[in-house]
Amino acid sequence: MSPSSATPELILRGGRFTTLDSGKPTASAVAITAGRFSAVGSDQEIMALAGFDTRVIDLHGRLVLPGLIDNHLHIIRGGLNFNMELRWDGVRSLADAMDMLRRQVAITPAPQWVRVVGGFTEHQFVEKRLPTLAELNAVAPETPVFLLHLYDRALLNAAALKAVGYTKDTPEPPGGHIERDSAGNPTGLLLAKPNAAILYATLAKGPKLPFDYQLNSTRHFMRELNRLGVTGAIDAGGGFQNYPDDYEVIRKLSQEGQLTIRLAYNLFTQKPKAEKDDFLNWTQSSRYKQGDDYFRHNGAGEMLVFSAADFEDFRQPRPDLPSSMEGELEDVVRILAENRWPWRLHATYDETIHRALNVFERVNRDIPLKGLNWFFDHAETISDRSIDRIAALGGGIAVQHRMAYQGEYFVERYGAEAAAITPPVARMLEKGVRVSAGTDATRVASYNPWVSLSWLVTGKTVGGMRIYPQRNCLDRETALRMWTQYVTWFSDEEGKKGQIKVGQLADLIVPSRDYFACAEQDIADMSSHLTMVGGKVVYAADVFKHLDEAPPPPAMPNWSPVRMFGGYGGWDDPKPVAAKTRHACGCANGCAVHGHEHIHAWSKQLPVREADLKSFWGALGCACWAV
């Protein structure tokens, strides 16, 4: 038990704790003092520590796990935009997705856009396709619609083309392709050839939220992550995310004590051919590890130099990196090593990893890298030789479930045999290299950690294709460690969090299902019924809902898709959207007068003003608003 001498502030009892601590792998109760686990043991042992003011929560025999930590999440950038985005993550049919789009178009005022920005793939839909441009134009003849599919393409309806100013006279951009009709007019399809620059640049033309709305938006994104059991993340920076300007929202939330995700952030350069200057300036103005347990600096990357970025679109051939890459990368890595800053480097292909390791080994001869927790991100096609070289240099590999969304495309180009070890996660672990898991959300994949855990355990894509044989799949406990204990090395926080252990930060979740006992196909649909960060409840549902005392205020603006649809899967509900709207009441979209299971009753539970709901349903032709 190893209790602290102080009287605990909180006791959780009656649970089934999976601690991931080999010294005490299970327990039924924990005590929490000053935001940390102060005792772990049986109900009888822990309750004996209770004082007059100790709060006690009964867990009703439920499974408890350490809080999940995403090793690669674009949470800072994603938070600024979350309230403006209609999420198709987890939606099972294109018909349902288009129904969501139709409803959002009806309440989105000019000049705002409707944005579906990543986190899904056409393969998750039963129809196995994306909407056509004609379908988008029919649903939204006047409202701009921007739809980003992975990093390979974007679909813009006619109103969006007009809003961004793409015409017959618009030149072909250097970082992508604008599809045109026989007369030379843009059709609305943008392709990432050779990279996603055209997709990012076009999205950046859309309206932005005011600062106060961005604060609210970031809180709602954190709330959504908490709902799914995420208590920590390493932010990987991102395109069009400048430091320090675009960090003011997250910094203010940190200063006001409103972060519900522990966040370690890496600095991502934005200036091709000027990366060295960025890191020279940043190493003088920022200090590695500056901050606290909720918001702290974690070094450089995932972009170190643009010449080393091997853009991942498995529909396209592997890109060849320029000969200037090694020299430019070495300039930056020497600056980082001299200042004892760790780094992360985006690398999809083994060819990139091989060339980067040549640079790292050369720097290591002059400036030993020992003690720097540097690592590669993604590493889909990494070889055994590269894994060994990384281990010898003391580095790590952060994998993400991008193949769960792009596996079908990889098989089409490279074949099933190559896909079976892309990436070779089990092999990495066998070789003893540091490995952990994450999502790379919000654009190339969903932020849902359970989709990643399902991918690691089942070897299947979200479209249901099994790409990995059993030898490259993980058992459930190892997969869980990849999302908890193992991530902490990548932010140099080993022993501080990731386990339910005396002295560690009291971050935990009570999942909606028994992760170890449920069917494999049910893992991806899990969420959390109780999420705690530092012993504080940041999300509660089901039998614990009465503990949810401080949810964020309603999503801003009042037309935000978050108000109508929530996040992953739409409406925070596992049922398909279309199933909620097929009623025989005469209204096109269902009506509350026929029962609280219908759509009006659900929307009544959302934090939306009644006037907004009346306006919304009226716009859709519903004549029988009730209650």
Distance between CA 433 and CA 189 in Å, rounded? 42
Q: Which amino acid is at 528?
A: S
What pLDDT does residue 600 have?
A: 39
Residue 617 is assigned to a structural domain of this protein: yes
Residue 623 is assigned to a structural domain of this protein: yes
Distance between CA 292 and CA 342 in Å, rounded? 18
> How crowded is the C-beta side of 421, counted as CA atoms within 13 Å?
13
What lies within 8 Å, CB to CB, of 182 at 6+ separation is none
Higher-confidence position of 23 and 619: 23
What pLDDT does residue 597 have?
A: 33
pLDDT bracket for residue 3 (50, 70, 90)? low
**Is 0.75 surpassed by the pTM of this model?**
yes
Residue 612 is assigned to a structural domain of this protein: yes
**Is the preceding omega at residue 172 within 30 degrees of 0, hence cis?**
no
Averaged pLDDT, 152-163: 97
Q: What is the pLDDT of residues 166-222, one digit of tens each?
A: 999 999 998 799 999 999 999 999 999 878 889 999 999 999 999 999 999 999 999
pLDDT bracket for residue 311 (50, 70, 90)? confident
pLDDT bracket for residue 589 (50, 70, 90)? very low
Residue 41 is assigned to a structural domain of this protein: no
User: Torsions phi, psi of 399, nearest 5?
Assistant: -100, 155
Averaged pLDDT, 26-39: 98
Residue 567 is assigned to a structural domain of this protein: no
Q: CA angle, 198 as apex, 193 and 200 as ends, to 5°?
A: 125
Asked whether residue 615 carries a pLDDT value surpassing 50, the answer given is no
What pLDDT does residue 44 have?
A: 98
Mapped onto helix, strand or coil, the DSSP state of residue 139 is helix
* Region of poorest pLDDT, from 78-82, 192-196, 291-295, 368-372: 192-196
Asked whether residue 584 carries a pLDDT value surpassing 80, the answer given is no
Terminal Cα distance for the chain, rounded:
54
Asked whether residue 559 carries a pLDDT value surpassing 70, the answer given is yes
Q: CA angle, 450 as apex, 444 and 453 as ends, to 5°?
A: 90
Which residue segment(s) compose the domain that 600 sits in? 583-627
Residue 594 is assigned to a structural domain of this protein: yes
Averaged pLDDT, 340-357: 98
Q: Which amino acid is at 618?
A: G
What pLDDT does residue 1 have?
A: 67
Q: Are 304 and 266 in contact (CB under 8 A)?
A: no
Distance between CA 370 and CA 391 in Å, rounded? 11
User: What DSSP assignment string belongs to 47-71?
Assistant: HTT--TT-EEEE-TT-EEEEPEEEE
Q: Are 367 and 335 in contact (CB under 8 A)?
A: no
Share of the chain above pLDDT 70, in %: 90
Averaged pLDDT, 427-433: 98
pLDDT bracket for residue 151 (50, 70, 90)? confident
Domain total of the chain: 1
Edge-first strand order for the sheet with 536-540 is 26-27, 16-18, 63-66, 508-511, 528-533, 536-540
Distance between CA 332 and CA 494 in Å, rounded? 27
Distance between CA 71 and CA 400 in Å, rounded? 8
Residue 608 is assigned to a structural domain of this protein: yes
Residue 546 is assigned to a structural domain of this protein: no
Mapped onto helix, strand or coil, the DSSP state of residue 578 is helix
